[in-house]
Amino acid sequence: MSETSRFVVSSEWLQNALGSPDLRVVDASFYLPAQNRDADAEYAAGHIPGAVRFDHDKVADHSTGLPHMVPAPEVFAEAVGKMGISENDRIVIYDGPGIFSAPRGWWLFRIMGARNVYVLDGGLDGWKAEGRPLETAVPSPAPVTFMPQFRVDKVIDFHTMLEIVGDSSRQIADARSAGRFSGTEPEPRAGMRSGHMPGARSLPSGTFSVNGKLRPLPELRRAIEDAGIDFGQPVVTSCGSGITAAIITLALESLGHEDNALYDGSWTEWGSRQDTPVVTGPPSPKAA
């Protein structure tokens, strides 16, 4: 059995596949202010040949006041159809560092009905370091029809999350840093409490990759189990704003765990409210 996720492709594989008629490459880079990177500027300066730019904040539900929330299926379908992407294409998604915002794109395309979606191991930084080809020309693909099949069961809203916390019906895996989880570090967004949801497990997003590449499957499993997650039970992933939660989702799905969903509002929603339970301190010991 391979130790590599079936949802991740190498830079060598992608370079060899460039130009294939069914291949679509998507730059889904997104950065936090602290990263001091500009995704649009980096795309303009040089991207993988044929790559279209997917902006998480633009292809989103703008009615909520929360960042990059999952858009309505028809909104997503119209946006990516204009990018020349159909649900039947082979879609490779990348970001700058490797395993950061690309998994959110991978998750979003999949829950909207795309069948063959992959993440580029090593990201654009790795691609550049290896001296692989770049282009500055912006592709102008012919529009196509993307037929969405929305997996509503994969997205958790606030009221459902409140019920889950209340009845412990699903495990909660939190991708924020250990300090934000425990409440010893402030949240990067103003006016937000730090800490975590009662019963949540701490699985910082950086746990799952090394140098922008997803860790081997046995290491992913060990990290998840060491955090107290039972593979036989359902999991909800969460983070700061719904981006890096998808890294845990990628790890779970790579290991065959399909009974998972992502809390889209994540801590931006939960931590900014005054009517939600928040716990500080390290996670409680896992059950024996």
Residues serving a catalytic function are: 239
Per-residue H/E/C for 105-161: HHHHHHHCCCCEEEEECCHHHHHHHCCCCCECCCCCCCCCCCCCCCCHHHEECHHHH
* Three-state SS at 77: helix
Structure tokens at 66: 């929360």
Please tell me the distance from the alpha carbon of residue 175 to that of residue 160, in angstroms, as a whole number: 19
* Residue 14 contacts residue 83 (beta carbons within 8 Å): no
* Residue 224 contacts residue 174 (beta carbons within 8 Å): no
Residues 208, 209, 215, 219, CA torsion sign: negative
Nearest CA to 28 out of 4, 57, 2, 67 is that of 57
Burial 4-40, CB ≥16 within 10 A → b, else e? bbebbbebeebeeeeeeeeebbbbbbbbeeeeeeebe
DSSP state of 104: H
Please tell me the distance from the alpha carbon of residue 80 to that of residue 67, in angstroms, as a whole number: 19
